[in-house]
């Protein structure tokens, strides 16, 4: 059937408009679904302000994740994305902060619940002082003794025999001297 120019334009418009309308009406802020969502790691929730809050992060850095990773809660929840413990601990911590607890009170609440092991560093009390002080005390003590001994020895007069020259070089001495000279600059 022959088609006139007006009819051609009408058909063309009918064909294009729905597509155009669909495009114009698309929500550009919506993210398209993934092809294989199950293979893109553990599903994540949108990031909240709390997750970047320096106050919260500061507390999280003092507390250890209980998953056995040896990391603090912040590092674990932002590193091991398969861990289910650290996000839960973060939420627990946020709940406490929302109750207007101070950082130390939050930490104390965690210690009360999970034990002293939940701290990233042992509290400075009792036997733990040995942990903090022993290396420094040992170095200072040994250093002081070393310094004292060095000064004492350095002040003592050197015996004359120490550097006395006894005669002309023997063959052995000459060989030794040659070795020493080789070493001197190497």
Partner 1 sequence: MTILGQLALWLALLLSAWGAVVGYLGGRRGDPALIQSARRTTYALMGLLTVASLALVVALLKNDFNVTYVASYSSRNLPTAYKLSAFYGGQAGSLLFWAWVLTLFAAAAQWVTGRRYAYLLPYVAAVTSVVTLFFVSVTLFGANPFERLDFTPMDGRGLNPQLQNPGMVIHPPMLYLGYVSITIPFAFAVAALLSRRLDVGWLHAIRKWTLLSWVFLSVGITLGMWWAYVELGWGGYWAWDPVENASFLPWLTMTAFLHSVMIQEKRGMLKRWNVILVGFSFALSIFGTFITRSGIISSVHSFAQSPVGTFFAWFLLLGGVFMAWLTWSRWDLLQTEARLESALSREASFFFNNLLLVGMAFSVLWGTVFPMISELVRGTQVTVGPPFFNQVNIPIGLALLALTGIGPLIAWRKASPGHLRRQFLAPVGVALVVGAVLAARGMSDAYALLALVLAAFVTATIGLEFWRGVGARHRLHGEHYALAFARLVGRNRRRYGGYIVHLGIVTYFVGFTGAAFKTELEASLKPGESVTMQSPYGEALTFTHLGVSQYEALNRFVSAASVEIQRDGERIGILTSEKRQHVDSFGRASFEPSTEAAIKSDLREDLYVVYAGSVDGTEEAVYKFTINPLVMWVWLGGAILVLGGMVTMWPGGGPTDRAAQRALEGYRTQLAATETAAS
Among 3, 11, 16, 181, binds partner 1 (CB under 8 A): 181
Nearest to partner 1 of 2, 68 (CB atom): 68
Q: Does 167 bind partner 1 (CB under 8 A)?
A: yes
Q: Does 122 bind partner 1 (CB under 8 A)?
A: yes
Collect all residues with Cβ–Cβ distance below 8 Å to 118 and sequence separation of at least 6. Answer: 63, 64, 66, 110, 111
Residue 142 in contact with residue 150, Cβ under 8 Å? no
Q: Does 157 bind partner 1 (CB under 8 A)?
A: no
* Cβ atoms < 10 Å from Cβ of 88: 15
What is the torsional sign of CA 26, 28, 30, 35?
A: positive
Smallest gap from residue 51 Cβ to partner 1 (A):
5
In angstroms, the CA 110 to CA 158 distance is 64
Contact mark string toward partner 1, 24..43, x via CB under 8 A: ----xxxxxxxxxxxxxxxx
Total of chain residues touching partner 1, rule CB under 8 A: 77
Residue 118 in contact with residue 64, Cβ under 8 Å? yes
Residues 40-79 that bind partner 1 (CB under 8 A): 40-47, 51-52, 61-62, 64, 68-72, 75, 78-79
Nearest to partner 1 of 12, 147 (CB atom): 147
Closest alpha carbon to 92 in 71, 75, 78, 77: 77
Smallest gap from residue 5 Cβ to partner 1 (A):
41
């Amino acid at each position: 059937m022959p088609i006139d120019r007006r009819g051609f334009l009408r058909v063309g418009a009918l064909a294009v408009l729905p597509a155009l309308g669909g495009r114009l009406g698309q929500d550009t802020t919506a993210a398209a679904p993934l092809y294989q969502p199950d293979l893109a790691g553990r599903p994540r929730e949108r990031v909240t302000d709390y997750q970047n809050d320096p106050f919260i992060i500061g507390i999280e850095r003092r507390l250890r994740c209980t998953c056995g990773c040896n990391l603090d809660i912040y590092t674990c929840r932002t590193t091991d994305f398969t861990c289910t413990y650290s996000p839960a601990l973060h939420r627990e911590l946020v709940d406490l902060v929302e109750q207007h607890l101070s950082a130390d009170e939050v930490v104390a609440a965690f210690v009360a619940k999970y034990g002293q092991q939940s701290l990233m560093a042992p509290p400075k009390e009792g036997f733990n002082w040995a942990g903090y002080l022993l290396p420094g005390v040992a170095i200072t003590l040994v250093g002081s003794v070393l310094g004292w001994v060095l000064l004492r020895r350095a002040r003592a007069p050197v015996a004359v025999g120490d550097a006395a020259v006894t005669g002309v070089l023997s063959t052995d001495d000459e060989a030794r001297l040659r070795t020493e000279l080789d070493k001197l600059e190497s």
